A and B are shown apart, each in its own frame.
Chain A
Amino acid sequence: MILHIVSASPYSHDALQRCLRLAADHDAILLIEDGVLALDSSAHFLDQSPTRHLYALEPDLHARGVVQADDNVVTTVDYDGFVELTTRCDKTVSWF
């Protein structure tokens, strides 16, 4: 399992699209920094990846005041959870 870390805004960069194209169905995706903006309830960037494990870094969500949709399938993690994710996956790749 590969951990895909997306740190760029989906509005101004194609990093998230690149990630969604290359991630396998069983891979994990972690949104950090401006990457968490994809989770705003008014954003519709993640509709196409329902089967993948989706995570977001909680401090970055809070910092940006992101308001998520009620039916969001994302799991939030803190910094320890971030580290734990990297150890659980075979390798990581960053998209920005």
Chain B
Amino acid sequence: MKSVLFINTKPPYSSLATREAIDAVLATAAFGVPAGLLFIDDGVFQLRKGQNPQPAELKRTAPMFEALDMYGVEEIHVCQASLERRGLQPDDLIVPVQIADASALRALLNRFDHLLTF
């Protein structure tokens, strides 16, 4: 079966990108298709701990990422340079991730059969 890498490039809440990506990932995983996630540039903010969007009357998206494990989605990759540029450490993120440098990022794009950007 062909695998799909979901590439998250946008921060949460300012657009529907995060929710659309989660819907697509869960649908993909529900059909048993191998899925992985990559967070790059402002996309890494989706995984930051301590998000409290309720005062802005927005819904938390973070719990969905914590549930990915139950759907069999185990590959969560984060761009190292994007994290560093934003002053974030892996410990600042809500789920365990694999840190990817430039060559690891290119290897990811090559390994997955389909690449979907959000």
A residues with a Cβ closer than 8 A to B are: 2, 14-15, 18, 21-24, 91-96
Contact = CB atoms under 8 A, between A and B. Distances in A.
Contacts of A95: 9, 117
B41 A18 contact: yes
Given A2-B109, A23-B106, A93-B117, 16 more contacts: A2-B110, A2-B115, A14-B41, A18-B9, A18-B40, A18-B41, A21-B102, A22-B105, A22-B106, A22-B109, A24-B106, A91-B113, A91-B115, A93-B109, A94-B117, A96-B117
Contacts, number: 32
A72 B40 CA distance: 30
Interface residues of B, number: 14
B116 to A, nearest CB: 8
Interface of B: 7, 9, 40-41, 81, 102, 105-106, 109-110, 113-115, 117
A51 B114 CA distance: 24
A96 B7 CA distance: 11
A15 B9 CA distance: 9
Contacts of B113: 91
B38 to A, nearest CB: 10
18 contacts: A2-B109, A2-B115, A14-B41, A15-B9, A18-B40, A21-B81, A22-B102, A22-B109, A23-B106, A24-B106, A24-B110, A91-B113, A91-B115, A93-B7, A93-B115, A94-B117, A95-B117, A96-B117
A93 B114 CA distance: 8
A92 B115 contact: yes
B67 to A, nearest CB: 26
